[in-house]
Chains A and B, each alone.
Chain A
């Protein structure tokens, strides 16, 4: 019983690290543009489909497949940015709210487009995808951890750390933070705001592509559901942690993973999703700033 509890917690953390990679990219886009990109997951799916196609045609190695996934996601992410986000950046008559709604609905429209395009190229319902690791799972006494998930955890940690360094230690990061603080002031100070938006999109999509590759390699299959799955999990993790906060995205993602692993073990998959949505709903109603703000105010005391 105790072993199960520990094993489930471990599984939850591993699952949560895949959500963390998704949520980091989502949060990066939302933090900078203040607009949600519903096509985030579908761009990942396009990358995954491109990799599947390359796998079927050429039986390429895992590094090539990972590169194709990331490139596919980045190219699609840039396409979405150009069509759904860039046009609303300036504009005097447009309020931020109107731009947010138009971008969101536009990115949803492209989601539909990308999903149909992907299924035209690869029409089957499910394609198998090779893992990068063929051996048995790691055993730590009675506990087991799959190597694929361990790699996911390592990548999530590295990505969170690297992103933090990028934002705090580089000139590009300075520009990004200036845009987050006040886009108009940043523009006046000489920051090329549209370029920052585009690069942030490319960076977030690259993170998403990496997440996508690791996820399909761990699941060893690709389905058209990957797009919706990635968008939903990324969005939920981001909202749970606290909108627009990078540490919040990681906290929210791990919390979602833990919650899902435990409730699935206790009550089955339907209740797993029910619990996740209920917690999200309750948290938004009671504490919209998210879990991270809760943790921070606890440790720092009332500010």
Chain B
């Protein structure tokens, strides 16, 4: 594979974490405009861990996820009872606050005769752990997709469990869920924190792939894109968000034919697609149909 293809595949994996995080919230019935903030928190935290403090990547990623989950939990605490556009706007306001805080964050140290660390709007360069340890590009790709596979496996487990059914019930009808004895606010808060940690995981890897991050990487555009990915792909399965990312980054951004026209094609495509399938390509009904078709086998003769 050439370097371009490797880069595209890595990017698809990285943004899938963010799309999955938006998907998780959509399944629980909340629409967030602010998941990019936790992606950013993860990127900054992990970048500072390896580049400033010399931690190993695993430690930095764990730290990033804890911080991202914690930040999401803090944002969720006062906003979790808001619904629809109210929740979306509250998360947007929080995310923009995070972006401005990244702009105000100056924390540089001299390492090997070079200033390293976040430098406000100038960004944060030199997150070179992956390069310095001699990792090849395809090895990093394997790491990203390996972690993505773990996340998808976790999703699959949850979807099959009682927790998954509860989650979908909360998303469909929170009042009904409350009648059944579900502590809706607590469950949603846990979902918000998990989605934050997931976005932070993506962000941590993103920082190490790009080696350079800046506050405007994590603006509202990224957040609404991740929401769109989850919705185009479909809300029926965790593979939906992946499909959404694949369509945009894999197909449109990478094919040179669409140069300069990418968003004109993508925008129109999404709008038309949503008319036919308002809950995405792989929506709940489709996923059920596929599952039935796969499970139903011809009767075996005794």
Q: Which of A50-58, A63-71, A97-105, A293-301 contacts B (4 or more CB under 8 A)?
A: A97-105
Q: B79 contacts which of A112, A115, A274, A285 (Cβ < 8 Å)?
A: A285
Which A228-264 residues have C-beta < 8 A from chain B? 228, 232, 235-236, 239, 243
Q: Given A83-B271, A288-B86, are A270 and B103 also a contact pair (CB < 8 Å)? A: yes
Provide the residues of chain B in CB contact with A280, threshold 8 Å: 89-90, 93
CA distance A252 to B26 in the complex (A): 29
CA distance A105 to B29 in the complex (A): 15
CA distance A84 to B273 in the complex (A): 10
Provide the residues of chain A in CB contact with B101, threshold 8 Å: 274
Does B168 sit at the interface, judged by CB under 8 A? no
Pairwise interchain contact B271-A106, C-beta atoms closer than 8 A:
yes
Q: Given A120-B260, A277-B100, are A105 and B266 also a contact pair (CB < 8 Å)? A: no
Q: Given A284-B79, A285-B79, are A87 and B275 also a contact pair (CB < 8 Å)? A: yes
CA distance A125 to B221 in the complex (A): 18
Provide the residues of chain B in CB contact with A286, threshold 8 Å: 78
Q: Closest CB of chain B to A282's CB: distance in Å?
A: 8
CA distance A94 to B277 in the complex (A): 11
Does A281 sit at the interface, judged by CB under 8 A? yes
CA distance A278 to B227 in the complex (A): 23
How many residue pairs, one in A and one in B, have C-beta atoms under 8 Å apart? Answer: 124
Pairwise interchain contact A273-B100, C-beta atoms closer than 8 A:
yes
Q: A281 contacts which of B94, B231, B232 (Cβ < 8 Å)?
A: B94
Q: B228 contacts which of A84, A87, A105, A278 (Cβ < 8 Å)?
A: A105
Does B153 sit at the interface, judged by CB under 8 A? no
Does B268 sit at the interface, judged by CB under 8 A? yes
| Nearest residue, chain A, Cβ from B230 | A105
Provide the residues of chain A in CB contact with B264, threshold 8 Å: 113, 116-117, 120
| Nearest residue, chain A, Cβ from B269 | A109
Q: Closest CB of chain B to A158's CB: distance in Å?
A: 28
Q: Given A113-B263, A116-B262, are A277 and B97 also a contact pair (CB < 8 Å)? A: yes
Q: A284 contacts which of B89, B96, B103, B275 (Cβ < 8 Å)?
A: B89
Q: Given A94-B278, A108-B224, are A101 and B100 also a contact pair (CB < 8 Å)? A: no
Q: Closest CB of chain A to B290's CB: distance in Å?
A: 19
CA distance A239 to B93 in the complex (A): 11
| Nearest residue, chain B, Cβ from A79 | B271
Pairwise interchain contact A274-B270, C-beta atoms closer than 8 A:
no
CA distance A120 to B82 in the complex (A): 40
Does A110 sit at the interface, judged by CB under 8 A? yes
CA distance A139 to B220 in the complex (A): 39
Q: A116 contacts which of B79, B90, B263, B272 (Cβ < 8 Å)?
A: B263
Pairwise interchain contact A106-B274, C-beta atoms closer than 8 A:
yes
Q: Closest CB of chain A to B76's CB: distance in Å?
A: 11
| Nearest residue, chain A, Cβ from B101 | A274
Pairwise interchain contact B272-A83, C-beta atoms closer than 8 A:
yes
Does B298 sit at the interface, judged by CB under 8 A? no
CA distance A199 to B259 in the complex (A): 36
Does B58 sit at the interface, judged by CB under 8 A? no
CA distance A174 to B221 in the complex (A): 38
Q: Given A97-B84, A101-B31, are A110 and B267 also a contact pair (CB < 8 Å)? A: yes
Candidate in B84, B101, B278 with the most chain A CB atoms within 10 angstroms: B278
Q: B220 contacts which of A116, A232, A278 (Cβ < 8 Å)?
A: A232
Does A292 sit at the interface, judged by CB under 8 A? no
Pairwise interchain contact A105-B270, C-beta atoms closer than 8 A:
yes
Q: Given A94-B278, A281-B94, are A111 and B267 also a contact pair (CB < 8 Å)? A: yes
Residues 63-102 of B, flagged 1 when their CB comes within 8 A of A and 0 if not, give 0000000000000001100101110111001101100110
| Nearest residue, chain A, Cβ from B86 | A288
Does B165 sit at the interface, judged by CB under 8 A? no
Provide the residues of chain B in CB contact with A232, threshold 8 Å: 220
Provide the residues of chain A in CB contact with B90, threshold 8 Å: 280-281, 284-285
Q: Closest CB of chain B to A266's CB: distance in Å?
A: 15
Does A150 sit at the interface, judged by CB under 8 A? no
Question: Which are the 5 A-B pairs with shortest beta-carbon distances?
Answer: A113-B267, A109-B270, A285-B78, A116-B263, A102-B278
Further pairs besides A116-B263, A285-B82: 18, Cβ < 8 Å: A100-B85, A105-B227, A105-B228, A105-B232, A108-B227, A109-B269, A110-B271, A111-B267, A115-B263, A236-B93, A274-B100, A277-B96, A281-B94, A281-B97, A284-B79, A284-B93, A285-B90, A288-B86
Interface residues of A (CB under 8 A from B): 30, 36, 38, 83-84, 87-88, 94, 97-102, 104-106, 108-117, 120, 228, 232, 235-236, 239, 243, 270, 273-274, 277-278, 280-281, 284-286, 288
Sample (30) of A-B pairs whose CB atoms are under 8 Å apart: A36-B88, A83-B272, A83-B275, A84-B271, A87-B275, A88-B275, A100-B85, A101-B278, A102-B279, A105-B227, A105-B270, A109-B270, A111-B267, A112-B266, A114-B267, A115-B263, A116-B260, A116-B263, A116-B264, A117-B264, A120-B261, A235-B89, A236-B93, A274-B100, A277-B94, A281-B94, A281-B97, A285-B79, A286-B78, A288-B82
